[in-house]
């Protein structure tokens, strides 16, 4: 194989480069949203999308069974060429896809928090290219991360306080490899990723005039608010299993150009079928510029739901059996709603919905409930917990 070294770069930048420059495969070394000691490999196929699970499994097999040829260290490395335009190429391609003129006229002030990681090399340049006043936070890539790379509200306390104290229009936080973007409004609210994605869908479907089938793909972990809002103008929401690759492949199959996860991963098919933090950021600024409203006002237009969540432990050896029992009981007790069971059980009623799903990585069942008010949310959660206890979970 001919090997090219792309240097420090966000995952979506590598993905775009692999696809556009005709590479057969790309490999990203990153811990993504995890602390740096959890670094792993993301393998990217020639279309820029992550390798499917069966390809990953065959790579793991080669690795663990040592079925590869060994060479001496002196034979290694001579053929590695450096490609030094990955980040520049990416920045220019993101900028191409939004209305720079309209955005720059708004004179927005944005704080960008890259968790001292590779997003620092691209997103501040995208923002400057859009004529935005940029304030950087945690964008010194030579420093170990000042915050946990996962852009959850508890990890974005500094970003919230900087956004508020400097009077910024909004804040943006990436995870370690900058495929996710989480937004903070001017009063310091950290927007849930499915809500901000819904706003982006609203913008793209109404303002970008793509002439595309009106389909949006998201995982079952996203809120039904997505469906509530998008169905108003005839958009079909397709629910998939959790995992960005399921979303990407479903988008391609269904001819959809929009997909997202509730964790801040947004896919704009016109650009590429992968999560892309800088692209999501540029689109959000375009939405603000086109609408003439603030992020805060746009967010307040969405239906409000009250959220409660918890997890229950389960013996990993009989996780699947116990989960099936719980699923049966849930479907007996909760009726009159819609059931989606591509991944766990999602139940959708008129004034609440819940998702009960085994964790992919821990001996846990996760329970997530959203309802119109707090009392109903807690009532639904307690009913689920009672059933979970009945089938032997604690």
Which spans of this chain sit near Mg ion (rule: CB under 5 A)? 32, 175, 177, 179
- Toward Mg ion, which CB reaches closer, 197 or 345? 197
Compute the least distance from the CB of residue 79 to Mg ion, in Å.
Answer: 30
Compute the distance between CA of residue 354 and CA of residue 260 in angstroms, rounded to an integer: 19
- Toward Mg ion, which CB reaches closer, 177 or 185? 177
- Toward Mg ion, which CB reaches closer, 151 or 208? 151
DSSP summary character for residue 313:
E
| Residue burial 103-134, b: 16+ Cβ < 10 Å; e: rest | beebebbbbbbbbbbbbbbbbbbbbebbbbeb
Exposed/middle/buried for residue 77 (C-beta within 10 Å: 0-12, 13-18, 19+): exposed
Catalytic site residue from 32, 120, 196, 221:
32
Helical H runs in the chain? 11-20, 53-64, 86-96, 100-105, 123-129, 157-166, 193-207, 225-230, 244-254, 277-291, 295-300, 319-333, 374-390
- Quickly tell me which residue has 């508890």 as its tokens: 154
Q: 248, 273 in Cβ contact below 8 A? A: yes
- Toward Mg ion, which CB reaches closer, 179 or 370? 179
Compute the least distance from the CB of residue 378 to Mg ion, in Å.
Answer: 33
Compute the least distance from the CB of residue 180 to Mg ion, in Å.
Answer: 5
Q: 339, 345 in Cβ contact below 8 A? A: yes
Distances (CA, A) of 268 to 41, 74, 149, 182, 217: 23, 43, 23, 16, 11
- The reply to whether 142 belongs to the active site is no
| Residue burial 197-208, b: 16+ Cβ < 10 Å; e: rest | bbbbbbbbbeeb
Compute the least distance from the CB of residue 282 to Mg ion, in Å.
Answer: 18
- Toward Mg ion, which CB reaches closer, 192 or 224? 192
C-beta atoms surrounding 328 within 10 Å: 13
111, 115, 119, 120: CA torsion to nearest 10: 70
Q: What are the tokens at 62? A: 């080669």
- Toward Mg ion, which CB reaches closer, 169 or 175? 175
- Toward Mg ion, which CB reaches closer, 174 or 208? 174
Compute the least distance from the CB of residue 151 to Mg ion, in Å.
Answer: 9
Compute the least distance from the CB of residue 175 to Mg ion, in Å.
Answer: 4
Compute the least distance from the CB of residue 248 to Mg ion, in Å.
Answer: 14
Which residues are identified as catalytic?
32
């Amino acid at each position: 194989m001919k090997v090219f070294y792309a240097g420090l770069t966000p995952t979506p930048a590598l993905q775009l480069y692999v696809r556009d420059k005709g590479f057969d495969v790309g490999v990203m070394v990153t811990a993504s949203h995890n602390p740096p000691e959890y670094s792993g490999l993301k393998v990217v196929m020639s279309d820029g999308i992550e390798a499917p699970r069966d390809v990953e499994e065959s790579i793991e097999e080669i690795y663990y069974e040592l079925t590869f040829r060994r060479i001496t260290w002196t034979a290694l490395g001579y053929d590695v060429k450096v490609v030094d335009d990955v980040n520049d190429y990416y920045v220019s391609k993101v900028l191409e896809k939004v209305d720079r003129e309209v955005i720059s006229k708004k004179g927005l002030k944005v704080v960008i928090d890259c968790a001292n990681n590779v997003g620092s090399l691209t997103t501040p340049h995208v923002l400057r290219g859009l004529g935005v006043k940029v304030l950087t936070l945690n964008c010194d890539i030579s420093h170990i991360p000042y915050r946990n790379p996962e852009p959850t509200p508890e990890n974005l306390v500094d970003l919230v306080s900087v956004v508020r104290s400097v009077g910024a229009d909004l804040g943006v936080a990436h995870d370690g490899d900058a495929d996710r973007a989480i937004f903070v409004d001017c009063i310091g609210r950290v927007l849930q990723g499915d809500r901000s994605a819904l706003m982006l869908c609203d913008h793209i479907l109404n303002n970008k005039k793509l002439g595309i089938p009106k389909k949006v793909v998201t995982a079952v972990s996203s809120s039904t608010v997505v469906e509530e809002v998008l169905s108003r103008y005839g958009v079909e929401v397709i629910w998939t299993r959790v995992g960005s690759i399921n979303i990407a492949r479903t988008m391609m199959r269904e001819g959809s150009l929009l997909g997202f996860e509730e964790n801040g991963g947004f896919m704009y098919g016109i650009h590429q079928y992968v999560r892309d933090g800088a692209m999501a950021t540029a689109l959000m600024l375009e939405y603000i510029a086109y609408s003439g409203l603030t992020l805060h006002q746009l967010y307040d237009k969405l239906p409000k739901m009250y959220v409660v969540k918890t997890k229950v432990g389960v013996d990993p050896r009989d996780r699947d059996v116990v989960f099936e029992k719980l699923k049966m009981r849930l479907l007996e007790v909760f009726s009159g709603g819609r059931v989606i069971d591509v991944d766990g059980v999602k139940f959708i009623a008129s004034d609440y919905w819940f998702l009960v799903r085994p964790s992919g990585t821990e001996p846990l069942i996760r329970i997530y409930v959203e309802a119109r008010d707090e009392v109903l949310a807690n009532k639904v959660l307690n009913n689920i917990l009672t059933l979970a206890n009945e089938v032997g979970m604690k």
